[in-house]
């Protein structure tokens, strides 16, 4: 039923599915938290394609390269800002390649197409009088690239002495007085409230409530500054008719989502299937206000629709503490062994609503027990020459499953719908958990069927075939379902089982017996030894010894 609806909607839906990640600051190398945002968005777009084979997906990511933060980081690295940004932006691209983040567009805010979009957007706001010039004084946080209201700052005593900080982010703020362009945010309070009351527009609901509470509690909802003096922030897009001013980095950055659609070029937007409004912005909880208040207000002022939905995720901590460059505890994904396993753990462990904690021990345990043992070993044993010397998915000679398989077959029957709902609710951990439970049942069924004993008795060949058939069919189904989470590992499994590329969709999930009953023909599988995922050993020497054994 769910699948029929989804196929129907794909036939009707001509416009692309447009999903985005935030664009990443290039002031430091990517860490685990950055990777997480991108992997979440990637898993969602893969799931959409899995359930809608003809869907055209636009999946954008990129780098946010302007502003004081970047200016300072380039100076520290003793590099011209442009070169510094090239290097860091490349690091993100390399990271996404290693972790199978299959974006369709990588946008950089230093590109001409983006500057054109920002200038056009600015002009529209200015022409319609949503932007005006004024003197501004307030506490500014370079780290957050935002002015912080007085009431949300406090004085802190640090080794550097007394400093003023933002209560929300903990970052230092500086008193700043300057002439700025201001955006009439105050004009949009009611419109924003109405938009934020739309069911499911921000997920999880807890973040939608947070924004609504923020709006209703702020009796004072001021306009915001959207430019900085160019003499102070020179690494930025200049206001086109006033080169004493640089455009505020957040306005610059948010417009990236329009740049990708071809904005402001009508022909290009049309050729891309008019992807706006974006179907989904995936963002971390720290940038909720920018995406849930500023961005929709900017769009409303420019007479564009706000995005259809924001998916907000919580943060990764490390060994129980906040991950931060200054604490020196950031986890660099490049240095973690086994990228496939790291991607798996990120999606398998985290919930959107609450922070998740990374520890190396937990990572290794999950990778070894679930990828190497539960999944990898099952495939290796059921495909290996000891039990399956003919190298095939053997036939199923009966319509009556063996009694030992009843619980497994029932669970397998329910699995696609269960996982469909979990994926649709962005609850990857629940989808993976359901699959792992079925794989545990499969391992139990396999063990209790004692295929090694059936193998010894030629008269039991049919029974052995049934055990192998059910096991390999379960593996096929679980691998199809897990594709959004571990694309490369599931590809290896489906290649091993010689499942054709066009039969790896959600509508291919019914078990053979529910379509065909008894099956007489065997199907070949790929020959050769199969190791899905070599166990990780904490002790590197041990790892090498095992790998060369």
Binding site for ligand MSP (CB under 6 A): 22-25, 33-34, 36-37, 64, 253-254, 256, 283-284, 286-287, 315-316, 323
* Least spacing, CB of residue 56 vs ligand MSP, in Å: 23
Which tokens is 262 given?
């071809």
Smallest distance from ligand MSP to CB 245, Å: 20
Instruction: Tell me whether residue 256 or residue 483 sits nearer to ligand MSP (CB atom).
Output: 256
The smaller minimum CB distance to ligand MSP, of residues 66 and 496, is found at: 66
Nearer to ligand MSP, 64 or 465 (CB): 64
Closest by Cα among 183, 180, 185 to 228:
180
| Cβ at position 1, least distance to ligand MSP in Å | 35
Residue whose CB is less far from ligand MSP, 119 or 388 = 119
Three-state DSSP state, 233:
coil
Nearer to ligand MSP, 202 or 467 (CB): 202
Rounded to the nearest whole angstrom, what is the least distance from the CB of residue 315 to ligand MSP in the complex? 4
In the complex, least distance from residue 144 CB atom to ligand MSP, rounded to whole angstroms: 9
Measured from the CB atom, is 278 or 536 closer to ligand MSP? 278
Query: What is the per-residue DSSP string for 20-58?
Result: E-PPEE-SS---HHHHHHHHHHHHHHHHHHHH-TT--EE
Instruction: Give the count of alpha carbons within 13 A of 210, CB side only.
Output: 16
Residue written as token pair 């702020």:
218
CB-wise, 105 or 286, nearer to ligand MSP? Answer: 286
Smallest CA-to-CA distance from 43 within 32, 57, 23, 62 is with 57
| Angle, CA 287 vertex, CA 281 and CA 293 arms, to 5° | 75
Return the number of the residue (363 or 513) whose C-beta is nearest ligand MSP: 363
Least separation in angstroms between CB 34 and ligand MSP: 5
Minimum distance from CB of 253 to ligand MSP (Å)? 4
Smallest distance, Å, CB 327 to ligand MSP? 11
Give the full edge-to-edge strand order of the sheet including 146-148: 146-148, 131-141, 174-183, 224-225
DSSP for 260-273? Answer: TTTTT-HHHHHHTT
Q: What distance in Å separates the CA atoms of residue 346 and residue 428, rounded to the nearest whole number?
A: 9
CA separation for the pair 492, 204 (Å, rounded) = 34
The three-state secondary structure class of 472 is helix
First to last CA, the chain: 50
Select 253 or 536, whichever has its Cβ closest to ligand MSP: 253
Residue nearest to ligand MSP (CB): 284
- Phi, psi torsion values for 70, nearest 5 degrees: -75, -40
CA–centroid distance for 190 within its chain: 31
Q: Tokens 């409004």 correspond to what residue? A: 277
The DSSP result for 412-465, as a single string, is HHHHHHHHHHHHHTT-HHHHHHHHHHHHHHHHHHHHHH-HHHHHH-GGGHHHHH
Cβ closest to ligand MSP, residue 23 vs residue 73: 23
Contacts of 456 (CB under 8 A, 6+ apart): none
Distance of closest approach, residue 286 Cβ to ligand MSP, in angstroms: 5
Give the C-alpha separation, 241 to 153, whole Å. 34
Q: Which of 59, 63, 43 is nearest to 103 (CA)?
A: 59
Residue (352 or 409) nearer to ligand MSP, CB: 352
> Minimum CB separation from ligand MSP for residue 64, in Å?
3
Q: Minimum Å distance from CB 60 to ligand MSP? A: 11
CB closer to ligand MSP, 192 vs 287: 287
> Smaller CB distance to ligand MSP: residue 87 or 544?
87
Query: What H or E segment, with its residue span, contains residue 129?
Result: none
Task: Please state the closest distance from residue 212 (CB atom) to ligand MSP, in A.
Answer: 21
Phi-psi domain of 99 (left: phi exceeds 0; alpha: psi -120 through 50; beta: other)? alpha
Distance in Å, CB of 347 to ligand MSP, minimum = 13
- Given a contact cutoff of 8 angstroms between Cβ atoms, the answer to whether 120 and 263 are in contact is yes
- The CA distance from 422 to 198, in Å, is 22
Quick check: 481 and 435 in contact, CB under 8 A? yes
H-helix or E-strand containing 305?
none
């Amino acid at each position: 039923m769910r699948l029929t609806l989804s196929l129907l909607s794909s036939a009707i839906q001509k416009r692309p599915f447009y999903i985005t990640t935030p664009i990443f600051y290039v002031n430091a190398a990517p860490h685990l938290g950055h990777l997480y945002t991108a992997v979440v968005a990637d898993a969602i777009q893969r799931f959409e394609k899995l359930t809608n084979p003809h869907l055209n997906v636009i999946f954008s990511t990129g780098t946010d390269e302007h502003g004081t933060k970047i200016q300072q980081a380039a100076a520290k690295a003793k590099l011209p800002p442009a070169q510094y940004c090239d290097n860091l932006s490349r690091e993100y691209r390399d990271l996404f390649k290693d972790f199978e983040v299959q974006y369709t567009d990588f946008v950089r805010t230093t590109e001409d197409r983006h500057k054109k979009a920002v200038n056009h957007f600015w002009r529209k706001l200015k022409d319609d009088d949503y932007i005006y010039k004024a003197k501004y004084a307030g506490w500014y946080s370079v780290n957050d690239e935002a002015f912080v209201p007085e009431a949300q700052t406090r004085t802190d005593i640090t080794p550097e002495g007394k400093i003023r900080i933002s209560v929300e982010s903990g970052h230092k703020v500086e008193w700043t007085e300057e002439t700025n362009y201001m955006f009439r945010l105050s004009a949009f309070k009611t419109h924003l409230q109405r938009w934020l009351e739309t069911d499911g527009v921000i997920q999880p609901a807890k973040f939608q409530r947070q924004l609504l509470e923020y709006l209703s509690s702020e009796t004072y909802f001021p306009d915001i500054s959207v430019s900085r003096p160019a003499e102070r922030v020179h690494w930025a897009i200049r206001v086109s008719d006033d080169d004493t001013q640089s455009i505020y980095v957040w306005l610059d950055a948010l417009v990236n989502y329009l740049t990708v659609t071809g904005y402001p070029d009508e022909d290009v937007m049309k050729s891309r299937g008019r992807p706006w409004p974006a179907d989904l912005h995936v963002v971390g909880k720290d940038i909720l206000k920018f995406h849930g208040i500023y961005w929709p207000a900017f769009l409303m002022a420019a007479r564009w629709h706000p995005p259809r939905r924001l998916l907000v995720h919580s943060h990764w901590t490390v060994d129980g503490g906040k991950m931060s460059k200054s604490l020196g505890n950031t986890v660099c994904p490049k240095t973690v062994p086994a990228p496939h396993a790291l991607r798996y753990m990120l999606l398998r462990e985290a919930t959107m609503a609450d922070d998740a904690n990374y520890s190396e021990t937990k990572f290794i345990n999950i990778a070894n027990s679930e990828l190497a043992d539960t999944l990898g070993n099952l495939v290796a044993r059921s495909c290996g020459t000891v039990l399956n010397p003919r190298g095939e998915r053997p036939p199923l000679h009966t319509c009556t499953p063996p009694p030992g398989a009843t619980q497994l077959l029932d669970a397998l029957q329910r699995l696609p719908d269960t996982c469909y709902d979990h994926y649709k609710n962005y609850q990857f951990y629940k989808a993976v958990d359901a699959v792992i439970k079925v794989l545990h049942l499969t391992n139990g069924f396999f063990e209790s069927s004692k295929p090694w004993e059936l193998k010894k008795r030629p008269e039991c060949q049919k029974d052995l075939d049934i055990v192998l058939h059910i096991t390999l069919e379960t593996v096929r189904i679980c691998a199809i379902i897990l594709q959004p989470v571990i694309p490369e590992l599931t590809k290896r499994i489906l290649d091993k089982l010689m499942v054709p590329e066009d039969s790896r969709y959600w509508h291919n999930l019914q078990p053979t017996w529910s379509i065909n009953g008894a099956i007489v023909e065997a199907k070949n599988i790929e020959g050769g030894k199969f190791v899905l995922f070599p166990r990780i050993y904490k002790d590197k020497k041990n790892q090498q010894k095992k790998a060369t054994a």
